[in-house]
Amino acid sequence: MIKTSLFTGALALLGSVTPAVAFGAGVTLNGSGSTLSKPYQEVAIDQFRKAHKDIKINYGGGGSGKGRQDLADAVVDFAGSDSPFKEADLAKAKGGSILYFPILLSPISVSYNVAGVDKLQLSAPVIAKIFQREITKWSDKAIAAENPGVKLPDTAIVVAHRADGSGTTQNFTEYLNGAAKGVWKLKSGSTVEWPSDTQAGQGNSGVAQIVKSTQGAIGYVDLSDAKASGLKYANIKNRAGKYIEPTPAGASAAGDGVEVKDNLVFSALDAKGDKAYPITAQTWVIVYTKQTDKAKGEALKAYLTFLVKDGQGLLTDIDYAPLSKGLQDKALKQVDKLTLP
Amino acid sequence: MNEPEIDLRGPPNYRDRAFAKLTAGAAGLVLLILGLIAITITRRSLPVFHEMGLGFFTTKRWSPPDSLFGALPFIWGTVFTATIALVIAVPISLGVALFMTQVAPPRLAKPLVYLMDLLAGIPSVVFGLWGVLVLSQHFDLGRSFLTAGIILAIMIIPIITSLSREVIDTTPPGDKEGALAMGTTRWEMITETVLPHSAGGLVGAVMLGLGRAMGETIAAALVIGSALGQMTLRPLAPGNSMPAVIANEWGEAQDLHKSALIALAVTLFAMTIVVNLIATGIVQRSMKRGQGT
């Protein structure tokens, strides 16, 4: 992960990366973008190909921003992105109007490493103060107030965040910007101005590695990487005032409570609902409405249908949450909006 | 120098002409590419200079959500890590070069040359991962200016060594033998004849190493720590350098942020060109002197 993200970053400096070329007959679909949804794309492509041997699909990763840029330049057939296009960028897209297909929800965990503490509850304002270095000890009163009965040590807090620009950072800071309004000062973005006495790691796995190896550390890591590294994670207070554990079920519950626009754009962050896990990110596959190649367009329709329907069963195993039924139906209906020549 | 001019090339022939044109074309192409790179990146960096002015070079804060981009801490990080790298690499490289040329028997010197070339060919990501696994974790240096400096030092030792070896080899054998004949020790012979003779070339070799250390991207990005706003002399503090920031933030950057990253590339481009020009100048001057012309 470390290697690929940096490598593509370096390549991107030289110009955009050409997607892999397919050999032989059949159709090839190329996609790039979100690294959050890459594990799902990989297992989905694997399964999809069992039924469609003549369709080859490549998904290149590289980050949501790169995916949107590649689609706008029409060098890929679909983009994976954790956030929608900005209006101004959309105007520059070569292929005209686009369609958003939500494919999964992902809980972002707040993972920690404090000896003797196995259960931790945090609310957005406290997380905000920890990450902007206003709370620097685990024994701080604000943390203790949310964790009655837990013996918190005097250990110094080490904050870990992403070194690379990331959709995970974007979602995490957007959550704090909304849920800790008035407390959070670093605003939101793929890179924000972290205090200089914090630590940075490459990718979710890099942050997980810092948390795992540093006593007193805390960091935001997507659930599948947190689990893979064997990290402990906090229960986060949601809008209903309940402390919820990051699980696929909690993320699905967040998906139930969101307001979805007609174009299927929504934000699952800080969603309503008793069981909703509040730091839940979403990710879309974005395609052009007007397809210019008949064979490719048909293949794309088949793959999109698989992603939002049959593929959804693959998600829980890799610690992502499937779409709610309502959202899934809307996405399926939207597949018909693709026009072929 | 009054020899009659004899044209050894024979009568001109279409193959010769084609060959001459082809090679000239290749040479011109390199210049053209360099020029085009300079033009494109400068043009695409303009928006950030429009927004920040020269404050881009003097501002300490880097906050993409605020559209605030100051390169100063990254320029500092680039200079600081490159300096650490030189402090470590220069004595070692000179030592190895002198050993290969003045001390070691040829039987041993030859394999050493191969080994140095091998070290120069290792991809930088390998050094970077080794740095993360060994230096920052095993030796507990963390991710810091020092860790980055050490990795950069290892990466530039082969370059400085091989250039130094070639420069030192240009010392006329007569000078060295003369010194030895006057009863000097080997150490005196090296300090009195070899080093003064090759001083200019050695400076050039070091500066070429400096140029590479400043531009190294992947290895630095992996071990430098990616901390913002660090303007410290503490080597164990995490920091950041220009190439590392570009590699880390490019993928998700948009609009002005992208332009700011390109402006970092322009700054780095300019700095390395200046260092390389100075180095080339010094090396050429000293090479000429070395050949007695």
pLDDT digits (tens, 9 = 90+) for A247-277: 999 999 998 888 899 999 999 999 998 999 9
**If residue B14 lies in a helix (H) or strand (E), which one and from where to where?**
helix B14-52
**If residue A99 lies in a helix (H) or strand (E), which one and from where to where?**
strand A98-113
Q: Quote the CA–CA distance of B269 and A41 in Å, as a whole number.
A: 38
pLDDT above 50: residue A87: yes
A191 at interface of B, judged by CB pairs closer than 8 A:
yes
Q: Of A83, A178, A169, A82, which Cα lies nearest the Cα of A131?
A: A169
Does the distance separating the beta carbons of A62 and B64 come in below 8 Å? no
Using an 8 Å CB-CB cutoff, list chain B residues near A65.
Answer: 251-254
CB-count exposure of residue B185 (10 Å: 0-12, 13-18, 19+): exposed
**More confidently predicted of A72 and B13:** A72
Measured between CA atoms, the residue of chain B closest to residue A17 is B251
User: Which phi and psi angles does A288 have, rounded to 5°?
Assistant: -80, 140
Does the distance separating the beta carbons of A213 and B63 come in below 8 Å? no
What's the pLDDT score for residue B68? 92
What's the pLDDT score for residue A219? 97
User: Among residues of chain B, what percentage have pLDDT more than 70?
Assistant: 93
Q: Where are the domains of chain B?
A: 71-290
A29's CB contacts (< 8 A; 6+ apart) are A55, A56, A57, A58, A77, A78, A296, A299, A300, A303
User: Over the range B8-30, which residues count as b (16 or more CB within 10 Å of their CB) and which as e?
Assistant: eeeeeeeeeeeeeeeeeeeeeee
Taken as a whole, chain A contains a residue count of: 341
pLDDT above 80: residue B69: yes
pLDDT digits (tens, 9 = 90+) for A19-38: 444 444 589 999 999 988 99
**More confidently predicted of B11 and A284:** A284
pLDDT digits (tens, 9 = 90+) for B211-226: 889 988 888 888 888 8
What's the pLDDT score for residue B6? 67
pLDDT digits (tens, 9 = 90+) for A126-137: 999 999 999 999
pLDDT above 70: residue A245: yes
Q: Are A76 and A286 in contact (CB under 8 A)?
A: no
Q: Are A159 and A131 in contact (CB under 8 A)?
A: yes
pLDDT above 90: residue B246: yes
What's the pLDDT score for residue A10? 45
Mean pLDDT, range B29-43, rounded to an integer: 93
Residue A40: what residue type? Y
ipTM value > 0.85: no
Does the distance separating the beta carbons of A62 and B247 come in below 8 Å? no
- Strands of A121-122's sheet in order across: A121-122, A235-237, A243-244
B140 at interface of A, judged by CB pairs closer than 8 A:
no
End-to-end CA distance of chain B: 13
Does the distance separating the beta carbons of A193 and B248 come in below 8 Å? no
B63 at interface of A, judged by CB pairs closer than 8 A:
yes
Q: Of A274, A262, A340, A272, which Cα lies nearest the Cα of A301?
A: A340
Does the distance separating the beta carbons of A89 and B227 come in below 8 Å? no
What's the pLDDT score for residue B11? 67
Does the distance separating the beta carbons of A196 and B227 come in below 8 Å? yes
Q: Quote the CA–CA distance of B107 and B76 in Å, as a whole number.
A: 44
Best-predicted range by mean pLDDT (A83-92, A102-111, B96-105): A102-111
Query: Shortest Cα distance from A197 to chain B (angstroms)?
Result: 7
Mean pLDDT, range B148-170, rounded to an integer: 90
Q: Regarding the domain delimited by B71-290, which CATH topology (the fold level of the hierarchy) does it fall under?
A: MetI-like fold (1.10.3720)
A262 at interface of B, judged by CB pairs closer than 8 A:
no
